[in-house]
Amino acid sequence: MNEVRNRRLHHVAALAATILVLVTTGCASSAQNGDDVSGQGARDAAGSTQAEVAGMSLEAEFGSASERYVEMQGLLEEAQLQISDGSWIWIGGDVLPVEGGANAIGEPPEGADEENSYFFQSSRNVELPGATGARADLDPMIEYFDEKGWESSSGEIGRNHEARADTGDGWRVTYTVRPDGQYTVDVYSEVFWTNDSGALLSAIADRDAADFPEESVPGEYPPFPSWSDPVQP
């Protein structure tokens, strides 16, 4: 079980590096901040202040993380289905969130750092027959973004083309097409406040015995662990 946990924690570090690249290429835009100078009144992706979260137990935070995980999977599934209802390749696990702060998508709330905030991220790859990374291959996703009424943009990132959307309620969706035919849907949350990111991530990792699959169809994903699940040695 330690091997599984270590694999997940190692994946967090890899995700953090990926997020930094996304931020420098303009994939992130500013999130709305609160007005409180100390940061206590700044609201997170769920609309909560740090002071409000301070009154939550670790078990309550665990429950909120579970709900956010399910919400992320719903966004991912809907975006995937705009492209293919077939099998998608997993890039990494989704259950364990990532410490916030400098790793965050967008500008984090004032006062947010790696110890008091976190975010979720999920990525899937698909290989489409004859796909060559044409700019026009973004069109189905751009049309979807428009139908949802989300603020969106598109651009060229190196040899790749990318469409990005802000859902307006704390989530970002990105679709990338590449010349090698590897197309990717990413879903990220903006940051959520926590009393202790290390304690929360450990509570999740310690109860998550299942590994992520190599492939799955849209809407298929491992369940988030329950607080009542036994803690793995």
* Domain ranges, ordered by start, for the chain: 2-30+45-213
Q: How far is CA 158 from the centre of its chain?
A: 23
pTM of the predicted protein model: 0.82
Do the Cβ atoms of 169 and 71 come closer than 8 Å?
A: no
If you classify domain 2-30+45-213 with CATH, what class do you get?
A: alpha beta
Q: Return the residue matching tokens 């500013």.
A: 30
Q: Kindly state the percentage of the chain with pLDDT values over 70.
A: 83
Contact 119, 108 (CB under 8 A): no
Q: What is the pLDDT of residues 75-87, one digit of tens each?
A: 999 999 999 999 9
Residue 149 has pLDDT above 90, yes or no: yes
Which among 10-14, 24-28, 113-117 has the top mean pLDDT?
Answer: 113-117
